[in-house]
Structure 1
Amino acid sequence: MKKHKILFFIFFLNILSSPFVHAQIINISGNFQFEDDASEVLYDIIAFRCDSSIYEGNIFVENEFSFTINLDSISYIRFSSLGYDPLYYMKDEIMSLAVNNIAKIGMVRLKTNLILDEIIIEGRKKTLGLSSTGYSVNIKDTYLSKYGTFEDVIMRIPGILFSPRKEIGVIGKSNVLFVLNGRRLNSTSELEILNPQNIKTIYIDHEPGSEYEASYDAVVRVETDDSFQDYYYIDLKNEFEVSRVLNDNFRSITESKRGKIIYGLSVEYSTDDGYKQYDTEYKKVWVNTDSIISNRNATLKGKFHNLLLIPSIKWDINKFHKFEVVYKYNNKDGNSDATQNFSLIRLDDKEDIETYKDLDENRSYHNPSLYHIWKQKSNTLNVSVEYYASKNKKIQDAKEIYKDGKIQYELQDFDDKYQIWASAADYTRDFDNWKLKAGGKISGIKDEGYYLISKESMVNNSLNDKTYALYTDVSGNISRFTFTTAIRSEWDLMNYQSSSYQESIKSDYLNLFPSASIKYISNNALSLSLSYRKSIIRPSYNQINPNKTYIDPLSYMVGNPLLKSTLTDALTFSMEYSSLYFSSGYNVDHNVRAQITEINPDNKIIHTYANIPQIKKINFLLVHSFNNKWIKSNLSLRTQLQDIRLKNRVYSKFNDIPAITGRVNVDFALWKNGGLNIYGLYYNDQFYNITERKSSGYISFGINHSFLCNKLNLNTGIADAFKLYKPNTWEQVDSNSYIKMNTDAGTRYFYITLQYRFGKMKSSQNSQSITSDEKRRL
């Protein structure tokens, strides 16, 4: 009961501290002029709230402009046009010019920008203004909007990592949340069906706000245009890949708006040979003078079939209420085989073992969700309800053949069923030069499964986890300074029971996550900001599950039920000017999870998890874009210094060679409606906790061309053209083990994609997920 009182006290603390001021409507007028005396050029005037989110905007072409606005709801106004440096007017400047609710600001003159940036990096904060360490990229009416798919767009966004297998991430971040029109997503599947022509802006937030779960260290937000007229839209796409195996993926999207209702259906089906890779591993584990040494050579192959259905209905009831229902169904069948040869030295005895491992897996889930939004004047209320049910069945057979003719079989049968439910509410209120955001979330996880880990042993497990969260966020401005202060509280109750344990394992944590930021906006488009944020990463279910998972005749994977959550304190400074964004930060991570290796009493190698007491990091990030008529490019460069120590061993110090990650994307407009793309990534040797990931990188080439007024798109190319990418090549040393892994995966492949779309227009997808953090933990 005491914890409930603490939660509600925090929830109302910032609400009671927020002022209320009567609205002030004012008319703003003036004249517009360009430095090069250009005429009939479009320019926009946009009013921003104190958190740098857009309040209202207009597009003009005449030299004279005039508009009316509620001055209490804004912080500053930006005058901008493509090819010119923007100009800013702060709220207090406009008020000083106002007489009888009329502000005549005179001549507004924009200076020419010598570099015509079609990618505009704005360095603004997230929608709710908690963090200033982020930037945005304009998509609408730029060359990016002319590509065929969302993947074509996102791979060209600075700071985004895009692997040869199209996995999307953010440089230097491990837990990324994707948001579409302010709504959280479980995966990128709903982003992948977007039409680039309808994407307005993509934001990269390095320090997520209090409205998001504290476990995320980055948020990628996508905003699209809404449609006010009836339309239909059909998109057909097929992608064929050739590498060591053959893969084929087909996707169909249908969407239609009739009156106030939008109907949508996405169907995706893939059938492929999956992958084929080769592993080489050396492993040595010791206790005192006894040791186990193994050399392993393995060939891994996999085949998969995947079906994904996403029907949706959106109903714009009236100008105040919107309602949406989204349902997702996914079914995936897979089979993987591994052939492994061992050379094993154990307690001075040498053995050669050949093993064959076969894994059959079926996974399916149902995911209905409801979303309602209410808007009236300065008030907004979002309410979400979501349910997620999944079944996961795995059967793994292993056959071990020894040199003396002995044959041994290992069978593991896993059957796992889990359910997630969640409900969330978010309320926003705009005051004078303040903005208040408050909300809460309740979620639950129920997981039940049996684990047949040998022919004689079966274990039953159950997990019940409930989380209660409340947050408040207040932002405001004083002159050219904007600031935010927020706090989020999360109360997590976990109860884990296993037939292999006599007593259940329980945890009861109440964590507070404060954050604050201050930002300065100058009149010449220079922005400086400083922010602080506290966050958490909780262990996943696999990391705390104590059941043994067979890896090879020598090794098992075992979770640690006593594993602690990782808490992070982050201080970040950021700066943006024109097409340049720079940030630097200092992070202290507490109880960092790391995989360690031990020998059990049966002389088997056990891989499990432990906590590193503390890791300190200093980060630098530079993002820059360059664009002209023929070449469009962007560069992202991240540097990190780390101080990592465990059990009297120093893995990394601040004065060591820094960890460097760089990526570059270049587009050449070689002909009309088409061109050449080059994408490159490189990182040097760098530690991820106590594991040293070896240097790697890749270069990919792609050619694209559009036909029939951009209705038919053809893309072809080669990923990892020189076969340089080895993401699973690493070394690990701890107090009693040394492991060296090298993987030769099929990262190089040729692809050809054909996409045909027709219809009048396409609106935005607004499906939301409020259970993404819970599914990530499972």
Structure 2
Amino acid sequence: MAKVLSFFSFLVMISLYTRAQDSTIKTRQLEAIEVNATPPPVRQEADRLVMTVAGNRLFRTAVNGFDVMKKVPGLEVGGDGALLLYGRITPAVFIDGKPVLMSPEALQIYLAGLSSDMIASVALINNPSSQYDAEYKAIIDIRLKQDMTLGWRGNISSTLQRNAYTYSDNQLQLTYKTSKLTYTTRLGYTRGTTIYRYSALQHLASTDIMTTNTNVPTSNNNFSYQLGADYDLKKNQHIELQFRGYLINRDAYAYNTLHTTDATAQHLVFNTKTENRYDPTQRNYLVNLNYAGQWGKTQLQLLGSFAQVNTRQQEDIQTSDIISKTLQDYWKTALQQNIRIRTVQADLSRETGYGTFHIGGKFAYTSTRNAIHYDTLNAAHLFVPDSGRSNNFHYDEYISAGYLSYERKLGKFDLAAGLRVEYTHSKANSITQQQVTIRNYLTWLPSISATYTINENQQLGLSFARRITRPNFTQLNPFRFYNSPLNYVVGNPYLLPSKTNTLALTYSIRSFTFTLNAGRETDAMLRYPEYDTVTNVLEYLGKNMPHKDFANITLSIPFTVTKWWRMQQNISSDYRKEQIPYHGITYAVGVTDFSIRGSQVFTLPRQFTFDVSYAYRSRSGFSLYIAKPLWNVDIGLQRTWLKGKLNTRINYYDMFNSTAFAIIFREKEIINNQLSHWYGQQRVVLSLNYSFGKSTYKAKQVNKNEEENRAGL
């Protein structure tokens, strides 16, 4: 069905695009007032692709900011909420030009509380310059609506979703603005249950066949708050202070079964169940102080932040034989993780008759303290410390960075060049294993770009940039995190940072955009499996591979068929080829896939808007794994009431329950295994958004930085 939808949409798109452009021109002539009031839905601006959200019918049924992300060209949204750009990059998310949280879970929660009515536009920077932190291979910048009207304004939003369980998200935002001061308060509360399922089919070395099934419902009782004040010292100078807290309280129950038969699948070998009850909690606090000033053609911005995150989790893990009902293993665990981040940043720019100069610097110090303790029930029915699994890991990292860049306009050309230098000192100390890894390295990161304006409707751009990706703290942590009694993930404190060189070409004509990215990543980080043929344990380890080549082509084509029917199609194709040394052989399998994501928006009578969205990705993978095709269909219905103050939406996601990420290991003589992940995407969602008050001023959002992203905060 997905292939039929994709093929039909592609034919319609090609045949109607030219006519739609002509129709748009005629519509502008006949309805100039209406069209001129709304920016083009997609346009190229210098180094970024900008999608207009405010007033754009394509986004009317979007429940929140997370739904908006699904329509960004080249961006895939995973079932777990993770964002993946061009099939390989995890982009940084900015709000009003400043970075925010990027972990999948927190991004879902944040964007779920950000009503799409608050978003003015979304910009994609697919090849960031040297002004940005080296970690950012791509950036999604969400611009919020801004209204400086004096007075106060409030907004209440509530979302209720239902699949196998019920989950609600409730947000209250209050803003009060005087001529000098702006006060903001934002409160959020989520309650309900989410679901995750994991399954695997593995042919063991003994020729037995093992089926793994894991079901994890997780109840949530989470609260967040944000308090802020923005003071205008004088014209073009202001100072901003923000506090934020995020309190996670969860109760999870993971039920796992391992059902094993002989090679004929007729005779049972063993059948076990594992029950794991755990209660992860997190306390996340952030203080952020920001100053911005402008004197003529000179601008200065100073930013300082302090973040403290404390995570706790206790587990009760029991494994027993289903047939005999005898207890086989009993573990108790206690996890403690404390992360502290301090950053200071300064950016200075100056316009001259010869162009614009930018100079800046940043210092970041991150410390993380991790301890996990295992107790195992012994033969005497006493819990004793398990030294084989317990561990204590400390990690400290210091990053000092500076950059210099220059921009100039010459006729129809916009030129920019820059150089960023980052010095990193890190110390990874696995106390239990008595392993200490100290690294010091200096990284030079040049960037250059040129944009040529052909005419008012056409633009051509070319850019090159080098970026660095440091291993995050989870990748470095040598702890074991179990998916089942015979399957776990382990970090590697010896991982090296990777470097990526990317060349990007962009072309736009009216609303049509074309993007080509190609490059190479050296020392790319990879999770790979190791299978013990004696114990049947499958562990996933981390290492650096020599290099990875990649290329991507993306087309974005929004257009109007009629006044009541609008469409947007995003078509992309990805190529990747990794060099992976594995079991004495270097695997280098080139993989090419394609995907199409589209939306059909219909304006119905009585001010209703109906949206049919769909996505399809062909068979994909990389050198070691094959990924099965993915597809889904969503529908949504939207209407405003009370002169636009109340906005209601009802959405049905993944109508055919077709979204399950499934992969197969290529080399079956090493590991004959296939597995899938499902996150309960099929659900019905009802959302209400009500605005009140005398002002429409929108509060700025809390900023986050690169180090918090890597910490998974």
TM over 0.5: yes
1:730·1:741 contact (CA, 8 Å) conserved in 2?
A: yes
Q: Which structure 2 residues correspond to residues 371-386 of structure 1 after superposition, within 5 A?
A: 371-386=290-305
Residue in structure 2 matching 1:618, options 534, 551, 572: 551
Tell me which residue corresponds to 1:632: 566
What is the Cα deviation at residue 388 of structure 1? 0.7
Partner Cα separation in structure 1 for residue 45 and residue 677 of structure 2: 40
What is the Cα deviation at residue 688 of structure 1? 4.6
Which ranges in structure 2 are unaligned for 5 or more consecutive residues? Answer: 1-24, 376-383
Residue in structure 1 matching 2:149, options 226, 229, 232: 229
**2:614 aligned with 1:680:** yes
What is the Cα deviation at residue 386 of structure 1? 0.6
Residue in structure 2 matching 1:336, options 252, 275, 283: 252
Tell me which residue corresponds to 1:495: 427
Residue in structure 1 matching 2:589, options 633, 652, 672: 652
**2:606 aligned with 1:606:** no
- Which digits, 9 at most, give the CA deviation of each residue in 1:485-524, with x for residues without a partner? 1111111111111222324111112111111111211124
Partner Cα separation in structure 2 for residue 610 and residue 36 of structure 1: 57
SS at match of 2:643: coil
SS at match of 2:684: strand
Tell me which residue corresponds to 1:523: 455
Residue in structure 2 matching 1:184, options 67, 74, 99: 99
CA gap of 1:504–1:304, structure 2 versus 1, over 3 A, is same
1:448·1:463 contact (CA, 8 Å) conserved in 2?
A: yes
Partner Cα separation in structure 2 for residue 453 and residue 222 of structure 1: 43
- Which digits, 9 at most, give the CA deviation of each residue in 1:273-323, with x for residues without a partner? 221x4432123576xxx8996431232222111111111111112113111
CA gap of 1:504–1:761, structure 2 versus 1, over 3 A, is same
Q: Which structure 2 residues correspond to residues 77-476 of structure 1 after superposition, within 5 A?
A: 82=35, 119-125=40-46, 132=47, 134-140=48-54, 142-143=56-57, 149-151=64-66, 153-162=68-77, 170-187=85-102, 188=107, 199-275=119-195, 277-283=196-202, 294-343=210-259, 350-402=269-321, 405-454=326-375, 455-456=384-385, 457=387, 458-476=390-408
2:366·2:707 contact (CA, 8 Å) conserved in 1?
A: no
2:368·2:394 contact (CA, 8 Å) conserved in 1?
A: yes
Partner Cα separation in structure 1 for residue 128 and residue 220 of structure 2: 35
Amino acid at match of 1:652: V
TM-score by length of 2: 0.86
SS at match of 1:724: coil
> RMSD between aligned alpha carbons?
3.0
Amino acid at match of 2:489: M
Amino acid at match of 1:567: K
What is the Cα deviation at residue 163 of structure 1? 5.7
Deviates more, 1:734-743 or 1:478-487: 734-743
CA gap of 1:508–1:350, structure 2 versus 1, over 3 A, is farther
Which ranges in structure 1 are unaligned for 5 or more consecutive residues? Answer: 1-33, 43-80, 84-115, 126-131
2:58·2:566 contact (CA, 8 Å) conserved in 1?
A: no
What is the Cα deviation at residue 464 of structure 1? 0.9
- Give the number of the structure whose alpha-carbon radius of gyration is greater: 1
Partner Cα separation in structure 2 for residue 762 and residue 193 of structure 1: 18
1:261·1:315 contact (CA, 8 Å) conserved in 2?
A: yes
Residue in structure 1 matching 2:601, options 664, 667, 670: 667
CA gap of 1:284–1:561, structure 2 versus 1, over 3 A, is farther
TM-score by length of 1: 0.79
- Which digits, 9 at most, give the CA deviation of each residue in 1:314-365, with x for residues without a partner? 1112113111111110111112222222145899x95432221222211111
1:194·1:764 contact (CA, 8 Å) conserved in 2?
A: no
SS at match of 1:652: coil
Tell me which residue corresponds to 1:589: 521
Partner Cα separation in structure 1 for residue 58 and residue 397 of structure 2: 43
1:178·1:185 contact (CA, 8 Å) conserved in 2?
A: yes
Deviates more, 1:489-498 or 1:335-344: 335-344
CA gap of 1:225–1:294, structure 2 versus 1, over 3 A, is closer
2:86·2:552 contact (CA, 8 Å) conserved in 1?
A: no
SS at match of 2:455: coil
CA gap of 1:202–1:301, structure 2 versus 1, over 3 A, is closer
Aligned length: 660
**2:686 aligned with 1:765:** no
Partner Cα separation in structure 2 for residue 144 and residue 340 of structure 1: 42
- Which digits, 9 at most, give the CA deviation of each residue in 1:195-245, with x for residues without a partner? 656644321111122222222222112334543431211111211111011
SS at match of 2:644: coil
Partner Cα separation in structure 2 for residue 138 and residue 154 of structure 1: 12
Partner Cα separation in structure 2 for residue 753 and residue 254 of structure 1: 19
CA gap of 1:451–1:602, structure 2 versus 1, over 3 A, is farther
CA gap of 1:39–1:308, structure 2 versus 1, over 3 A, is same
2:341·2:707 contact (CA, 8 Å) conserved in 1?
A: no
Amino acid at match of 2:313: K
What is the Cα deviation at residue 396 of structure 1? 1.7
1:701·1:719 contact (CA, 8 Å) conserved in 2?
A: yes
- Percentage of pairs with the same residue: 16
Q: Which structure 2 residues correspond to residues 30-69 of structure 1 after superposition, within 5 A?
A: none
